[in-house]
């Protein structure tokens, strides 16, 4: 069977517990190549738990998770999947690494430990840095960066090994609105120009409905909807946030549902 005939990520009847509490219940969904998925839901609803289970960083109670048609229990090509965690930017600010050196760490995997970097490695590093718009700070120490700069550095580190799926857990927490907007625009470019499948946990609901192709609502159960002009955001979001939830659209530079440009 050709790989393009099945989803890049397929989840069936997934149950996940943490501290003996059921956090994800009977989740089933499929993500296809080139999807840009916004993962939303109330705090404590299970978004991070779901991602950790998908990445085999947290054991599942039952159900199946398949990347590129292969069950995660036997899946070994994790270089095809990149992950930026919630706490990626929380590091010792005195650690003596430059931006370029930190991004280069993304090239290290189980097959090249101890090998000296070659020109192809450094070309990939510089290409990822350029794509994320941080060439001007490539020589700076990581402890000198702003929050928005750090986030772009860690995305560059994830991109440097040319993944096919990029998974991010709240990568823009704690930065101002204009920085968030620039970050989401860059991800849109990444999705459209490179065809990378993106899943991102976000509290910016407007960004999700403006820029992304699917919305995944998580609150113990999981519901995935295609974002089209016919989709009512309030109806989709009340599924996770409750019947009294009301979505208020704020000013945003949009590309998908709303045409401000």
pLDDT above 90 for 29? yes
What pLDDT, on the 0 to 100 scale, is given for residue 114?
65
Domain edges within the chain: 3-241
What pLDDT, on the 0 to 100 scale, is given for residue 260?
37
What pLDDT, on the 0 to 100 scale, is given for residue 84?
92
pLDDT above 70 for 1? no
The C-alpha torsion from 95 through 168 and 27 to 8, rounded to 10°, is -110
Under CATH, which architecture does the 3-241 domain have?
3-Layer(aba) Sandwich (3.40)
Between strands 36-40 and 62-67, the pairing is: unpaired
164 with 8: CB under 8 angstroms? yes
Beta bridge partners of 222: 218
- Residue 141 CA to residue 241 CA, distance in Å, equals 41
**CA distances (Å), 102 to each of 95, 141, 246, in order?**
10, 9, 42
- Residue 185 CA to residue 126 CA, distance in Å, equals 20
| Neighbour-count burial of 64, counting CB atoms closer than 10 A to its CB (0-12 exposed, 13-18 middle, 19+ buried) | middle
pLDDT digits (tens, 9 = 90+) for 93-134: 777 899 999 999 998 876 666 678 889 999 999 999 998 889
What pLDDT, on the 0 to 100 scale, is given for residue 261?
35
- Residue 206 CA to residue 248 CA, distance in Å, equals 8
> Which pair of tokens denotes residue 223?
């519901």
185 with 36: CB under 8 angstroms? no
pLDDT digits (tens, 9 = 90+) for 36-94: 999 999 999 999 999 999 999 999 999 999 999 999 999 999 999 999 988 776 667 77
155 with 171: CB under 8 angstroms? yes
Band (24; pLDDT cuts 50, 70, 90): very high
Which residues are within 8 A (CB) of 23 and not within 5 positions of it... i.e. 6 or more apart? Answer: 16, 17, 46, 49, 50, 220
pLDDT digits (tens, 9 = 90+) for 181-225: 888 888 898 899 888 999 999 988 888 998 899 999 999 999 999
What pLDDT, on the 0 to 100 scale, is given for residue 250?
61
202 with 252: CB under 8 angstroms? no
3-state secondary structure of 176: coil
CB atoms within 10 A of CB 4: 10
Place of tokens 């993500």: 31
Beta bridge partners of 221: 219
**CA distances (Å), 44 to each of 7, 49, 123, 240, in order?**
28, 9, 41, 12
| Sheet-wide strand order for 9-18 | 21-31, 9-18, 62-67, 70-71
> Which pair of tokens denotes residue 253?
């530079």
pLDDT digits (tens, 9 = 90+) for 168-177: 998 877 677 7
pLDDT above 60 for 257? no
pLDDT above 80 for 256? no
What would the mean pLDDT of 243-248 be, rounded to a whole number? Answer: 75
């Amino acid at each position: 069977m050709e790989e393009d005939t099945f989803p890049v990520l397929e989840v069936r009847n997934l149950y996940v517990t943490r501290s003996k509490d059921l956090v994800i219940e009977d989740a089933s969904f499929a993500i296809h190549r080139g999807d840009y998925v916004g993962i939303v839901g109330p705090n404590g609803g299970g978004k991070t738990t779901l991602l950790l289970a998908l990445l085999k960083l947290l054991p599942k109670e039952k159900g199946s998770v398949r990347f590129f048609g292969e069950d995660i229990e036997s899946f070994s090509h994790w270089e095809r999947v990149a992950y930026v965690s919630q706490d990626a930017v929380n590091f010792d600010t005195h650690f003596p690494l430059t931006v370029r050196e930190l991004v280069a760490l993304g090239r290290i995997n189980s097959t090249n430990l101890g090998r000296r970097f070659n020109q192809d490695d450094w070309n990939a590093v510089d290409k990822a840095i350029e794509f994320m718009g941080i060439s001007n700070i490539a020589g700076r120490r990581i402890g000198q960066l702003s929050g928005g700069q750090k986030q772009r550095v860690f995305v560059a580190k994830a991109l440097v090994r040319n993944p096919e799926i990029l998974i991010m857990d709240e990568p823009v927490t704690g930065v101002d609105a204009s920085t968030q907007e620039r970050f989401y625009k860059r991800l849109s470019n990444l999705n459209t120009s490179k065809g990378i499948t993106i899943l991102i946990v976000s509290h910016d609901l407007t960004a999700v409905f403006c820029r992304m192709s699917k919305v995944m609502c998580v609150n113990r159960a999981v519901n995935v909807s295609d974002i089209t002009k016919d989709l009512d955001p309030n109806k989709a979001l009340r599924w996770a946030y409750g019947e009294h939830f009301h979505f208020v659209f704020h000013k945003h530079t949009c590309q998908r549902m709303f045409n401000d440009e």
